[in-house]
Amino acid sequence: MKWLDEFFERKSRKVAQSASRRSALIGIGKLLVGSAFVLPVLPFDRTAQAAGAAASKKAAGKLPTDQDCEYWRYCAQDGYLCNCCGGTASSCPPGTEASKVSWIGTCHNPEDGKDYLISYNDCCGKTACGRCFCNTNEREMPGYRMGLHNDINWCMANDSTMFHCTLATVVGLANSQS
């Protein structure tokens, strides 16, 4: 083990003679800044957490209601539920109006086993509701597929661009292709 101590001592002395404290701090700074940009981009698998939450609700015997993020209609939801803000799942609260543009999702209804096409419209005209925020993003597409992407202020086509809450309106039965 003495040879290992001597090896590290030689290497440490060589680094100390050839590098200054300033260059060491610069290297550490580059490492920290570089990792700050890389770490948030790394993918994280959260499917186990979602499955665990769904299993615990099933075990409790409580099915999600239309005021829970786990409700089947909210599979591509991103925003505050209008149910909690004075409206319903398919109508805006008083004082707001539905956005003229929307994003779409196909959600599976476990009760009847069918897939439905859901139109998500933001309700515009008031400040954000602040209650019942859901961000499920199931099968969300990247931002360059505008009609399938939900991280946009969809109130941009309305007179008032203030976002209040989000509707999840069933448009129809999804066409299954075999």
> Distance between CA 38 and CA 26 in Å, rounded?
18
For residue 95, the model assigns a pLDDT of 92
The secondary structure element, H or E, covering residue 118 is strand 114-124
* Residue tagged active-site, from 72, 78, 122, 154: 122
Given the residues 66, 103, 112, 154, the one annotated as active site: 103
Among the ranges given (10-19, 36-45, 61-70), the one the predictor scored with the smallest mean pLDDT: 36-45
pTM of the complete model: 0.58
User: Given CA atoms 85, 88, 90, 91 in this order, what sign does their dihedral have?
Assistant: negative
- The residue-averaged pLDDT of 11-22 equals 82
Told to judge if 122 belongs to the known catalytic residues of this protein, a careful annotator would answer yes
Q: Which pLDDT tens digit goes with each residue over 48-106?
A: 555 555 555 555 567 788 888 889 998 888 889 999 999 998 899 999 999 888 888 88
pLDDT in tens, 94-153: 999 998 888 888 888 888 889 999 888 889 999 888 888 988 876 655 555 554 455 667
pLDDT value, residue 15: 80
Asked about 112 being catalytic, the answer comes back as no
Task: Express the helix, strand and coil content of the chain in percent, nearest 5 each.
Answer: 35, 20, 45
